[in-house]
Amino acid sequence: MIRNLVILCCVGLFVSHSAVADTVSGTIEFLKKPPLAGLLYLVGGKQAANSDQLDQKDKKFTKDILVRSAGGEIVFNNSDSVDHNIFANDTKTNAKFDVGLMATGNQIKKTFDWPIGSMIRIGCKIHPKMKSYIVTTDSVHYESFQFKRSGGPYSFSLTDIPSQQNEFILSIPRYDPVKISLNAGESKTVVIIKKGKEKGSITISRE
């Protein structure tokens, strides 16, 4: 009998734990030309310092978006056959850096003290068409999108969302932030706006 009680208690703990985690999923669509990249994330949480890497090949960055936590390191590589330079100069957040000339085969590691929620554009002074974005977030629940590298609509799924947290943000460079409150069992379609004009929509559900 004691053994049966122990088994029942363990099952109860498992069910209780499972009940507090939700899944948020949906799609993002644009009316015309999609932006370069974006990030959907749950507001809040505490993420340990994490790193990301960015390489350069064929006069392009290998990623359109990088995600790091506050204090997280970014590793820049140059696997291209030509020299590069990586820099940022964001006047709104005062996020600035410049690695100088980066020769073929070089690697540079940087840590930035940038505000949570910031999305900073980086570029190359030698090749002006190169660009990517570095996002700083404290959330462990997020999904990044490289819109131009794949055709839409763009599907997403965030798992293990704590039941007590319900605020989400879709962040896209030069677009208005899309703020969404979503409780369990709800489904919404929210318009994506840029400079006062509708550019697309996000349909999002929580189970």
**DSSP code for 104:** T
Q: Are 59 and 114 found together in one domain?
A: yes
CA distance 52 to 74: 5
- Asked whether residue 16 is domain-assigned, the answer is no
Q: Are residues 56 and 132 in the same domain?
A: yes
Whether residues 110 and 150 fall in one domain: no
DSSP 49: P
Question: Is there a cis peptide before residue 173, judged by omega within 30 degrees of 0?
Answer: no
Mean pLDDT in order along the chain per 10 residues (207 residues)? 44 46 96 95 76 94 92 93 96 93 96 91 96 92 90 93 94 96 97 97 97
CATH (domain of 117): 2.60.40.420
Task: From 138, 164, 191, give the residue that closes a domain.
Answer: 138
**The predicted structure's pLDDT at residue 17:** 43
